[in-house]
Amino acid sequence: MTRAPAILAMTLAGVAAIGLLLVLEENVQVAPWAEHGAEGRLHFQTKNANRLGGSAADVRRAVARAIYLDSTALERFAALDWRERIRAGIEVDARPRHVVALPDEGEEAAAWALPGAYWAAFAGSPVVFLGRETVPDDALDSIRRLGVPVYVLAPETLVSERVAEEIARLAPVRRIAGDDLAEHAVRITEYRDAATDFGWGREHEDLPTVFHFVIAAPADVDAAYSALPLAQAVAGAFLFAGDDGGVPGPTDRYLWSQRGDWFVTPSETSFRHLWLVGDRVSYASQGRLDLAVEKGPYLSKGPVALGPLEALGIVFLALGIAGFGFVLLHGARLLPDVPPAMRIAWAFTALLVPVGGVVLYLAAYRRPRLNPDEDTPKWLRPPAVQAAAATAMGFGYGAPLMIAIGYLFVYYGFPLAFGEWAMDGAEFVLGAGMPIMMAAMYVGAVLLAWPFVQTGMQAMMLGAPRREVAGRALGVTALSMVAVSLGMMSVGWFMLMERDPMMMPHEDEILWFVSLWLAAAVGYLVAWPLNWPIVRTRLKPGTM
């Protein structure tokens, strides 16, 4: 009696653990096929990312053609250094409401100035250049003359606090800077002050908007300045890639948060478009960034990204796993009289009915034992809790079995039949994958739970040999699983087939587990009242 349920339980826990580990692996891996995916490519444009590669001169010509429709239009740009390009590329607003202050000294200044330069080029902001410890006279004159707030877009290592204080005597000053280049660019992209008309203000994806972003590695700074006109043409905010070709953490985090979502059709919402400038951004990065801004359905946000339904689902699963552990430990330490098969059934109930399962388990054993002197223990319980315990007895094995069988189906793929016989009526559903899977889940769960668990339970309850109660156990198991299936199958169908316009999530997506977990929880709630007549007719015990 003890060994068979334990073996079954370990198998089920193993399937769930392997499934969840595969989900985890799927979500933490970055670009495992990058090398393979780049092989034999005829070009490197992707659906969400244009690539302007080659030298700075190549980029300049490509940008000129992209914007002015003539690849020679920016030739005069070539001779200018980065400061001159910024000045030449900005049509300054006649009545500016802010001034952009960029760093001027040091080798790093050109890279740190890039995100600010893109903003200024888009907005027509007057730009001043500041030294590390000094303010050039022309900058002071401009700031004094304009008399509008100054945004210092540089860290203190490039424009000191003393310099900021000196400017502050002439105009309000605000410094916006990140700890590293990638974070610096993200901060400028997210920041907005409507009063001074400063900043892109692109914090999240909620608005039906189309945002372009220009991305380059710091070592490709020359190419990045060649692409500066994109700031005007496509309202392109600037973000950094890494010199190693990778995507730095802040850029990665930011672009995933920019992924658009939709309710009914992906055509209803906005999109994001990236311009990858220079050759350094690796193909692995391009694949990741292209995926990061791929639109997803609202509730799940699509592959890899964490949607609201997934976030709630993960909490749901975590509570279930915690409950599973609690019931196993609590039962083993404090309720050794309870038959192990019943403790396992409660543990799986707590797993699939988070919190509620633990509460019902505690309620089932909070009163004294009815028969302390007998071998088959019974507990004093009100009718509702008796029904809950009887439900757990069937559900605790049946529901995880159904999930495990369903998992094997999605892992190996559904059988599908659509021959001529499926032509005219509703009989086509007999060949459809989902109904086949649901039938297999039910039949498989009954056929496994019957010999492994329920026959032993019935034998214990009736004090009779297994052989004599086998037929009765099969009937009881089939009946219990019908009760569970009523709620579980209907919610499972809704979650996998109706809720998601993209249709069923794959076996390595957390939503697959969340859907079946939730379906099982509802299955328990539906089966609970239906188990009371089963207890009343003594088909199942309510006091074990």
Partner 1 sequence: MTPGPCSVPRPVRFAATAPYMATAWKWLRPWTPLVSALALLGGCGSTDGPPVTPDEGGVEPVVTAYTTRLPAPDPVTQAIVISQTVYPATREENAVGAIILSPQNPAIAFTAMSRITHMPVNAPLLYLDEERRIPETTLREMRRLRPDGVVQDGQTQVYVVGDVDPSVAETVRRELRYQVEIFPAGDPVALAELLDRWQAALKSDHPDEVVVSVPTRVGMQHGVGAMGWNAHMGKGFAWVFPDSVPPETRRVLERRHGDAYIYITGGEDVVSPAVARELARYGPVRRIRGPTVFATNAVNAGYKDFGRNWGWWWDEVPRDFGWGIAQAGHNFIIGDANDLLGLIPAAVLGHMGKHGPILLVTPDRVPPATADYLRMVRPDVLTPNETILNFAWIIGGENRVSWEVQRELHRLLSPTGGDAETLGAWERVNQRGDLVGGEASGEARS
- Enumerate residues 194-253 that contact partner 1 by CB under 8 A: 199-203, 207-212, 229-230, 232-235, 237, 242, 244-247, 252
Which residues, 15 to 34, sit near partner 1 by CB under 8 A?
A: 21, 24-26, 28-34
Using CB under 8 A as the binding rule, whether residue 265 contacts partner 1 is answered as: yes
Least spacing, CB of residue 194 vs partner 1, in Å: 8
> CA of 370: how far to CAs of 81, 105, 329, 330, in Å?
90, 85, 23, 20
Q: Which of residues 132, 253, 273, 378 is near partner 1 by CB under 8 A? A: 273
Region 365-394 residues binding partner 1, contact defined as CB under 8 A: none
* Number of residues engaging partner 1 in binding (CB under 8 A): 129
**Interatomic CA distance for residues 429 and 372, integer angstroms:** 53
Least separation in angstroms between residue 69's CB and partner 1 is 5
Binding segment for partner 1 among 58-66, 340-348, 373-381, 383-391 (CB under 8 A)?
58-66
Closest C-alpha among 329, 330, 337 to residue 378: 337
Long-range residue pairs from 502-509, CB within 8 A, at least 24 positions apart, any chain: 502/297, 504/410, 504/434, 505/300, 506/410, 507/19, 507/22, 507/407, 507/410, 507/411, 508/22, 508/23, 508/25, 508/26, 509/23, 509/26, 509/300, 509/303
Only segment of 282-290, 395-403, 450-458, 521-529 that touches partner 1 (CB under 8 A): 282-290
Contacts of 328 (CB under 8 A, 6+ apart): 343, 344, 347
Minimum distance from residue 306 beta carbon to partner 1 (Å): 14
Using the minimum distance from each CB to partner 1, give the nearer residue, 211 or 324: 211
Strand locations in 173-229 (E): 173-175, 211-216
The answer to whether the Cα torsion of 15, 17, 21, 24 is positive or negative is positive
> What's the distance, CA 96 to chain centroid?
41
Given a contact cutoff of 8 angstroms between Cβ atoms, the answer to whether 394 and 442 are in contact is: no
Q: Going residue by residue from 399 to 418, which x/- string records binding to partner 1, judged by CB under 8 A?
A: -----------x-xxxxxxx
Taking alpha carbons only, the member of 360, 364, 329 closest to residue 344 is: 329
Q: Which of 196, 164, 195, 166 is nearest to 177 (CA)?
A: 164
Contact status: 490 vs partner 1 (CB under 8 A): no
**Tokens 């003594």 sit at which residue?**
538
Kindly write out the interface string for residues 76-95 of this chain, putting x where it contacts partner 1 by CB under 8 A and - elsewhere: xx----------xx-x----
- 422 and 428 in contact (C-beta within 8 Å)? yes
Give the nearer residue to partner 1 in terms of CB position, either 73 or 384: 73
Q: Which stretch binds partner 1 (CB under 8 A): 49-57, 340-348, 465-473, 521-529?
A: 49-57
Contacts with partner 1, 297-336, as mask; x by CB under 8 A:
------xx--------------------------------
Could you tell me which residues come within 8 angstroms of residue 382 by beta carbon, excluding any fewer than 6 positions away? none
Least Å from the CB of residue 29 to partner 1: 4
Least distance to partner 1, CB of residue 316, Å: 21
Cβ at position 279, least distance to partner 1 in Å? 4
Among 112, 283, 513, 524, binds partner 1 (CB under 8 A): 283
Calpha distance 494→414 (Å, rounded): 18
Q: Tell me the closest approach of the beta carbon of residue 528 to partner 1, in angstroms.
A: 23
Interface with partner 1, residue 174, by CB under 8 A: yes
Count of alpha carbons within 13 Å of 228, Cβ hemisphere only? Answer: 32
Closest by CA position to 186, among listed 232, 150, 240: 240
* Residue 483 Cβ vs partner 1, minimum distance, rounded to whole Å: 23
- Closest CB 394 distance from partner 1, rounded Å: 27
Smaller CB separation from partner 1, 141 or 179: 179
